[in-house]
Every structure is written in C-alpha cells, then in structure tokens.
C-alpha cells in the first residue's frame, strides 16, 4: 500500500556507487542522491504517524465495542433473569461480576 511512496530500498542505498572525479565524488550527484534519501525518510516518518493514528483509532473502537458487548450481555442476562422470578446466589454473583467488568473494564 505504501510501497509506491518509497523510492529507495535499503539495498538501493547500499549498492549505490557514485562516479569519481579527479577530486573525488561529484558533489551534485551526491547531493541529488541524498535529497532522495531524505525525502524517503520524511515519507517513512509520515507513514509511521499515519499508521500510529490508525492504530490508536482501532484500539479505541475495540475498547468501545468490548464495553458495548459487556453492556448488552448484562442487559440480556437481566432480561432473561427477569422472566424467572427465582433469583439465586449464582445469579446475583454473575450480575455483580458483569457489573464489575463494566465498571473496571476487565476483559
């Protein structure tokens, strides 16, 4: 998905060879190549930030949905138990457990 945004691979950087002038590497060629490397690193940083934001949103959605499931299970248990007028200690303990899960957020 993000591959088309990145121009260089680690192998490309490693294998890059510059032409040598009488005084050494051509500065313009090196500068151009370094500009591409810098652009890629900036793009990597941008991609990482995007992915971190996506991850944060997904985690928040996941927590919200878990809480909603717990609430609905508790409501369903109350409805089921409401149809039975017999309330046992086991039923009370289960209700308390479900309420603790909702309040304290335990999985």
For the chain, domain boundaries: 3-104
State the Cα–Cα distance between residues 75 and 92, nearest whole angstrom: 14
Give the up-direction half-sphere exposure of residue 75: CA atoms within 13 A in the CB hemisphere.
6
pLDDT tens digits, one per residue of 43-91: 888 898 999 999 999 999 999 999 999 999 888 887 776 665 556 777 7
In the 8-state DSSP scheme, what is residue 22?
T
The pLDDT assigned to 87 comes to: 63
pLDDT tens digits, one per residue of 6-56: 788 778 887 888 777 777 878 788 889 888 988 888 888 889 899 999 999
Going by C-alpha positions, the residue among 61, 71, 65 that lies closest to residue 101 is 71
In the 8-state DSSP scheme, what is residue 105?
-
Give me the residues paired with residue 20 across strands: 25
Give me the residues paired with residue 25 across strands: 20
DSSP string, 30-80: HHHHHHHHHHHHHHHHHHHHHHHHHHHHHHHHHHHHHHHHHHHHHHHHHHH
The pLDDT assigned to 102 comes to: 82
The pLDDT assigned to 62 comes to: 94
């Amino acid at each position: 998905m993000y591959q088309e945004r990145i121009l260089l691979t680690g192998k490309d950087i490693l294998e890059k060879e510059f032409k040598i002038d009488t005084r050494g590497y051509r500065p313009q060629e090196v500068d151009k190549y370094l500009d591409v490397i810098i652009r890629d690193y900036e793009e990597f940083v941008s991609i990482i930030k995007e992915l971190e934001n996506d991850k944060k949103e997904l985690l928040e959605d996941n927590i919200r949905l878990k809480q909603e499931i717990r609430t609905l299970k508790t409501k369903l248990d109350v409805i089921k138990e409401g149809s039975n007028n017999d309330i046992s200690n086991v039923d009370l303990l289960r209700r308390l457990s479900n309420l603790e899960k909702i309040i304290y957020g335990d999985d």
